[in-house]
Amino acid sequence: MTRGVDRAVNIAGLRRLAKRRLPAFSFDYVDGSAEDEISGADNRRAFDDAKIVPRQLTGISEADPSTSLFGKEWAFPLAIAPTGYNGLLWRKGDVVLARQAANSGLIFTQSTMSSSSVEDVAEAAPGLRHWFQLYVLKDREATRTLVERARQAGCEALVVTTDVAALGNRERDKRHFVRPQVLSLRARLDIARRFHWCLNVALPGLPDFGNLREFLPKGAGALDGATYIAREMQGALSWRDIEWLRDIWPHRLVVKGLLHPEEAADAVRLGADAIVVSNHGGRQLDGAPSPLRVLDQVRSRVGGDCALLMDSGVRRGSDILKALARGADGVLSGRAMLYGLAAGGPDGVNTAIDILRSEFVRAMILSGVGSTRDIDARILFDPDGFIPSTGFSSHKNVMALARAGRDL
Ligand SMILES: Cc1cc2nc3c(=O)[nH]c(=O)nc-3n(C[C@H](O)[C@H](O)[C@H](O)COP(=O)(O)O)c2cc1C
């Protein structure tokens, strides 16, 4: 086990290790949100504010965290969120994340901007529930090529990200650069102090963007890839783009990055199979609400048939329980997985998954729910202090015992 990872008792512990191991510029790339980081903080506050009212006398001592999505078994309602340039945190970071997801029965969403290509990940992680996140490119043929490659690699779902009409203003990132893509002297000196990172990431050669190689001249490196993305990414999308993608992608289509209940309902009307309610981890519009705050409104607009996922701020297993109680079918996790990856590669990712899974199971048991099917809004303490009746079977047991005249 990578040193220190075995002593991490929670995601915050993995974050501390990641901060120690990574150069500051790359830690801030992961950890930072946009501008004043108000939305980043709200993502946590919303989970902290949501309270669970436990049911004690249920006799439940075990809980089954499994569920299903798109008709398939899902070991635990957690998917690894798409995050670009994971090779900056650990060599072949995408492959590491994908393999651990496959071993744990989770879904791995690979970013368009991943360091490894979609083909390399599919080959390295057989049996993986592999989703491909698409950033639409201005060049329609190049976009079509990416979609076709995802199909050929066996991806189950295409996840189109909709919340990057303009790139978020990430001020923490800017502090490490004298101009775009040129690190300050201070940032370079800091790199020299991170011996393990240099050995693991920098010395073998900085990663590039595996999915974009075919659009770049031979031998192009990370900087050329970043320049290509900045120039070629079609930030602002419209409903026509969603319609077009629905036409060219015959499998599951997931629309990521919506917060407005009306937009979510419109996406479902155009054929989306799932929505990811997300504020991009607070990295785009600073001031956007935490997705947890709008989740129940989105659920009531899209109805019960559409799969609803959420992300932004998940750091505890109890957060997953709260998201499910507010109407989600599952959550995506970005940073919690990346802290694990940076802290200790495969060991770190495994530890992050184990922590979230065991916290989720414990929170289920303590809340008196034995199965994910039984999680709903009735376990939550609502802001007005109203405690809804649960109608749980324990109550029926009490009544049955009372009727039988047993001594309670
Ligand atoms: C370092 C980093 C890179 C990201 N890159 C992408 C990306 O390439 N595509 C995308 O749709 N979202 C990207 N996201 C957003 C995540 O998919 C997800 O919405 C967010 O991380 C969820 O918040 P959390 O980190 O608090 O779990 C990125 C997030 C981080 C932290």
pLDDT over threshold 60, residue 12: yes
pLDDT over threshold 60, residue 395: no
Q: Is 111 in the pocket of ligand 1 (CB under 6 A)?
A: yes
What atom in ligand 1 is closest to the CA of residue 163?
A: 11
Q: Is 281 in the pocket of ligand 1 (CB under 6 A)?
A: yes
> In whole angstroms, what is the distance from residue 310 CA to residue 257 CA?
9
Nearest partner of 237 among 130, 334, 109, 140, judged by Cα = 140
SS3 256: strand
pLDDT over threshold 50, residue 330: yes
pLDDT in tens, 162-213: 999 999 999 999 999 998 889 999 999 999 999 999 999 999 988 999 999 9
What atom in ligand 1 is closest to the CA of residue 114?
A: 8
Q: Which domains does the chain show, CATH number per domain? A: 5-367 (3.20.20.70)
Q: Is 176 a catalytic residue?
A: no
| Residue 132: predicted pLDDT | 98
> How far is CA 106 from its chain centroid?
11
> In whole angstroms, what is the distance from residue 366 CA to residue 53 CA?
9
CA of 156 to the centre of ligand 1 (A): 20
CA of 242 to the centre of ligand 1 (A): 20
Q: Is 109 in the pocket of ligand 1 (CB under 6 A)?
A: no
Structure tokens at 138: 């201005």
Question: What's the average model confidence in pLDDT over 304-327?
Answer: 97
Is residue 294 within 8 Å of 314, Cβ to Cβ?
no
Residue nearest ligand 1's atom 1 by CA? 30
> In whole angstroms, what is the distance from residue 258 CA to residue 298 CA?
9
Is residue 353 within 8 Å of 104, Cβ to Cβ?
yes
Q: pLDDT category, 223, cuts 50, 70, 90?
A: confident
Q: What's this model's pTM, rounded to 2 decimal places? A: 0.95
| Residue 257: predicted pLDDT | 98
What atom in ligand 1 is closest to the CA of residue 29?
A: 1
CA of 333 to the centre of ligand 1 (A): 8
